[in-house]
Amino acid sequence: MTEVRLDKWLWAARLYKTRRGAAEACQAGKVKLNGRSVKPGKSVKAGDDLLITRKLYKQQIRIVGLQERRVAPKIAITLYEDLTPAEDIEQSQLVRTMESAFYRDRRKAGRPTKRDRRAMQKLKGKF
C-alpha cells in the first residue's frame, strides 16, 4: 500500500472519531496537506505533512505509516509523528482546564441535581 485516501487515514490514525468527521473537516478547509487545502479523497503517502486546525490549536503532523482500517490506539500513534510545538500544546491544555473549570462552576449555579438535593436534605436532617 503506497497511498491511502486522506479521510480514511485520518480516521484510521484516530485523529477524528468518524470518517465522516474527517471528511467534513477536509471540506471545511481545516486539514491542509503540504500547505494546501485538500478534498477528502486526496491520496496521501508517507512523508506528507498535515496541518490540522483544531478548536484550540493547530496540530502539525508528518505521516510515517499508512493504514486504511481503524486500528488500536497504540498502533495508531505509530502512524504519524506529531510536530506541534510544545508551547502550543501547553497553551491548549491551559485553555482546556480553564474551560472545564468554568463549566463545572456554571453547573453548580443551576438547578440542583438529585445528588445535590439529597446532600442538602441530609444536612437539614430530613433524611
CA–CA dist 41, 96 (Å, integer): 32
Total number of domains in the chain: 2
Proportion of the chain above pLDDT 70, given as a percent: 92
pLDDT higher than 90, residue 100: no
Same domain, 29 and 70: yes
CB 71 within 8 A of CB 80: no
Same domain, 68 and 89: no
CB 63 within 8 A of CB 48: yes
Same domain, 122 and 67: no
pLDDT of res. 50: 94
pLDDT of res. 127: 46
Strand-strand pairing, 31-33 and 36-37: antiparallel
Same domain, 126 and 106: yes
Structural domain boundaries enclosing 48? 1-84
Q: Can you say how many angstroms the Cα of residue 39 is from the centroid of all Cα atoms in its chain?
A: 19
Same domain, 2 and 61: yes
Element (H, E) at 125: none
Q: Compute CA distances 28 → 47, 62, 66, 81, whole Å.
A: 24, 21, 23, 24
Same domain, 74 and 99: no
Same domain, 73 and 102: no
Q: What is the pTM of this model?
A: 0.73
Phi, psi of 90, rounded to the nearest 5 degrees: -65, -40
Residues 6+ apart with CB under 8 A from 29: 37
* Region 93-119 average pLDDT: 74
